[in-house]
Structure 1
Amino acid sequence: MKLIDRILGREKRAPIQSNDPYLAEWFGLTGGLGGYVDPVRASGIATAHACISIVSQNLAATPLNLYRRTDNGGRERETDHPLYGVLHDVANPTMTAYEAREALVASVMIAGNAFARLEWNGRGQVSALYPLDPGQVAVERLESGRLRYRVSSDRGGVRVYLQEEILHLRYRLARDGVMGLSPIQIARETFSLALTQQETAAKQASKSFLPEGALIFPNVIGKDQRQSVLDRMEAKVNSDLSTRGILVLDGGTDWKSFSFSSKDAEFLESRKLTNLDICRIWGVPPTVAGITDNATYSNSDQESRALVVRCLAPMARRIEQAMNASLLTVQSGKTLFIEHDLAGLLRGDLKARYDAYSVGRNGGWLSVNEIRGWENMPMINGGNEYLSPLNMTEAGNRQADPLNNEEDP
């Protein structure tokens, strides 16, 4: 727009629409019906913190390997590639791979977005990965459809990065197709209720659950007598003596309570239900998050597997596809790919693993060295051979029965 148009007031600007939760935090919008919920406070709820820690720590501890596709349709680890060390050992000079991956997953679960600055070497390979604070990153869509990232520094400066220089993980894609939605903001009513219940419990605890009510006298008493009774009542209730809970009410005095107990208001049951709702938001089984009211040995083992299948596996696939698109060039992506190794989380106990190995070994599709590799044992000579059961062969290669001197039907 020209300067003369601005002076004459003929400049027209389209309204800016944004669903960025940090704008609500900037303007001080707090909880309430449909209002903004502070992600920091919400993630500090015990159940929410447990869910975030379980998912982020388990995925960070799960091996994230760089594989190369082989000619026979298999795979092999590309341990000589610099990206393998970034994902598996050290993300950058000041952060291990575990710490970086844990921070990225936690950021996705809290803010809905996770960003990391990529450092490329002269060969076009990612050599370092630096996680960024999502509150300091602004995303813009260019006319070409590509994305541009503006990162604010703690010193007040702003630096612009292209799409190839940033790893962007998103929880759930928003309508604009650019930003991810925060699960805390999606379920803000649940977290608002949880925060309110937590504040109510804290207020009751700060008062040491002291009673609130009225003293009812059968006859009218004077102002001085009323004040004297209140002073003695308050001194007795607030006393640190062991007999502070014993009150003597004479002259027909009656006590009328104004407050409800937690049991009468079903406050504790309501908090339990809210904790279950928080587990449902992230798909974490209740027993895994420490809610063991209805836990048994059987369902605890099944819910541990459900954590991997229903919670960790979708999050792992979300991360893998984003990393394959951002950390690998188009040419290298034809032969290389990034993938989590979740098999170790589903292996079960020692007996279940060995029974499964026995089936695979006797069936002829597992070798000794493959089994020893999964158990972190060294390879042995001759361990790459596969068994071939005598009673199993291809249909076209059946031989004649020597007793009947005729071919098997």
Structure 2
Amino acid sequence: MNIWPFKRAEKRAVSGDPSWNALINGGSVSASGAFVDVKSAESITAVYAAVQTLAESTACLPLHVYQRQENGERVRADDYPLARVLRQPNPNQSGLTFREEMTAAVLLHGNAYARMETNGAGELTGLHPIHPRNMTISRLSSGRYAYDYTDDDGKVVRLLQGEVFHLRDRAEPGSVLGRSRIAIARDTLGLGLSLREHGASTFRNGARLSGVLQTPNVLDDASAKRIGDSWREQFAGAGNAAKTAVLENGLTYQQLAMSLEDAQWISAQQFTVVEVARLFRVPPTMLQDLSHASYSNTAELGSQFVRYSLARWIGMWETEIARQLLGPMARRRYLAEHSVEGLLRGNPEARADFYGKAIKDGWMTADEVRRLENLPALTKAQQERPDDE
């Protein structure tokens, strides 16, 4: 797992897997005619909200490293090298910002990469993220994979399997590259972009739909251009809305298109929100869509968000940490696991109910609860105090 110096023994195979960089979401034109890539997709507020909801929620959960004991119990191993790296992967990032960035990259690009840094003893000392668009993966003659990335100086650097921490979304059978949800739903997102452009264009042209100026007279090109320019100058733009037009020389105005209400433009915009929620598997309420929300089902949808939406990303981090950042022997003794109870912090009533049941049923003690709440352990006098005092 040593990073420095780079190993150069293996070479890129001429035949084999294609250039994975070509499969990363570089963007293309959708069926609606809108160009869709990661940047344009994130400009749709529903996409940005879905990605942030999943990335922020995953990153904010406490992630601890535990050591298994011979009696079957486990204890926090905060001084273990992996635990220190997960708290601060590199000098420029905390564990929260690193995990948020990596999770968002998987959601948008399908893949996230980080260069693994180790010391002379082979211990992990750092994780340095690499933008997915700068990475190319190829299969070597040995059957392993090489990761070639372009650094800030334009130099191509080769890392081998075991030197890159790679997170990915669902992949095709036999592939190591995760599929981009943006690329999969390009036409759906392109429709959302086109709807937004339609609305913006409508308001830009005076908050009214197009029509025609008619006259029984014959106009030459110069006259037609002069009339058209004059009309746009006086009535185009939201600031010119509701002005009264004065027509001359027999000109008449006839509106041709339907109104925004007739075209159900707002309903179409709502459809985009639902489609994005379906794409990223988050409840619409998490995207501020409260059209079908009530007090009772909002609480249940929040619970489903933890069980079904977050579960995949929490599991991805835990399993890939064990597979890639822990050696075969270390995996038998250590594991990384999230504390989902952290999601209860914003709900004091639910938190108190959860802790109360845990203490009553005997699988947590009062001191363990106080530790989670950043409170000191009970003193001996407090422990001996009668309950009715």
TM-score bucket of the superposed structures, by smaller chain: 0.7 to 0.9
* Map 1:18-33 → 2, pairs under 5 A: 20-21=21-22, 25=26, 29-32=28-31
Contact 1:34 1:189 in 2 (8 A): no
Contact 2:138 2:146 in 1 (8 A): yes
Superposed displacement of residue 116, structure 1 = 0.3
Which residue identity does 1:73 align to in structure 2?
G
CA-based RMSD = 3.2
> Which residue is equivalent to 1:342?
340
> Which residue is equivalent to 2:217?
221
> Which residue is equivalent to 1:405?
none
Superposed displacement of residue 234, structure 1 = 5.0
Q: Which of the residues 311, 314, 324 maps onto 1:313?
A: 311
> Which residue is equivalent to 2:350?
352
Q: Which of the residues 101, 104, 121 maps onto 1:103?
A: 101
Superposed displacement of residue 216, structure 1 = 4.8
Instruction: Give a deviation string over 1:193-248, Cα, whole Å, max 9, x none.
Output: 1122222222223223244213456xx33549x86976775565259988952245
Between the aligned partners of 2:110 and 2:158, the Cα distance in structure 1 is 21
Between the aligned partners of 1:140 and 1:265, the Cα distance in structure 2 is 49
The percentage of counterpart residues that share the same residue type is: 31
In structure 1, the gaps of 5 or more residues are 1-12, 386-409
Contact 2:65 2:83 in 1 (8 A): yes
> Which residue is equivalent to 2:41?
42
Contact 1:115 1:131 in 2 (8 A): yes
* Map 1:214-363 → 2, pairs under 5 A: 214-216=212-214, 220-221=216-217, 223=219, 233-234=231-232, 236-238=234-236, 245-247=243-245, 255-346=253-344, 349-363=347-361
Do the aligned partners of residues 16 and 324 (structure 1) sit closer, same or farther apart at CA in structure 2, a change above 3 Å counting?
closer
Q: Secondary structure at the match of 1:379?
A: coil
**2:88 maps to 1:62:** no
Between the aligned partners of 2:238 and 2:282, the Cα distance in structure 1 is 44
> Which structure has more RCO (C-alpha within 8 Å, separation ≥ 6)?
2
Contact 1:35 1:188 in 2 (8 A): no
Q: Secondary structure at the match of 1:127?
A: strand
Between the aligned partners of 1:118 and 1:32, the Cα distance in structure 2 is 40
Deviates more, 1:179-188 or 1:369-378: 369-378
> Which residue is equivalent to 1:174?
172
Q: Secondary structure at the match of 2:29?
A: coil
Instruction: Give a deviation string over 1:142-199, Cα, whole Å, max 9, x none.
Output: 2333222111123221111121111000111223321111111122221121122222
Which residue identity does 2:29 align to in structure 1?
T
Q: Secondary structure at the match of 1:116?
A: strand
Between the aligned partners of 1:18 and 1:175, the Cα distance in structure 2 is 17
Deviates more, 1:258-267 or 1:201-210: 201-210
> Which residue is equivalent to 1:143?
141
Q: Secondary structure at the match of 2:101?
A: helix
Between the aligned partners of 2:76 and 2:17, the Cα distance in structure 1 is 47
Contact 2:206 2:237 in 1 (8 A): no
> Which residue is equivalent to 1:93?
91
After TM superposition, the score normalised by the length of structure 1 is 0.80
Which residue identity does 2:86 align to in structure 1?
L
**2:374 maps to 1:373:** no
Which residue identity does 2:273 align to in structure 1?
N
Number of residue pairs the alignment of both structures matches: 368
Superposed displacement of residue 255, structure 1 = 3.6
> Which residue is equivalent to 1:82?
81
Q: Secondary structure at the match of 1:164?
A: coil
Between the aligned partners of 2:105 and 2:381, the Cα distance in structure 1 is 44
Between the aligned partners of 2:112 and 2:372, the Cα distance in structure 1 is 32
In structure 2, the gaps of 5 or more residues are 1-13, 384-389
Contact 1:368 1:383 in 2 (8 A): no
Do the aligned partners of residues 244 and 263 (structure 1) sit closer, same or farther apart at CA in structure 2, a change above 3 Å counting?
closer
Do the aligned partners of residues 243 and 312 (structure 1) sit closer, same or farther apart at CA in structure 2, a change above 3 Å counting?
closer
Q: Which of the residues 99, 120, 123 maps onto 2:121?
A: 123
Q: Secondary structure at the match of 1:334?
A: helix
After TM superposition, the score normalised by the length of structure 2 is 0.83
Superposed displacement of residue 130, structure 1 = 0.3
Contact 1:367 1:383 in 2 (8 A): no
Superposed displacement of residue 322, structure 1 = 0.9
Contact 1:138 1:150 in 2 (8 A): yes
> Which residue is equivalent to 2:8?
none
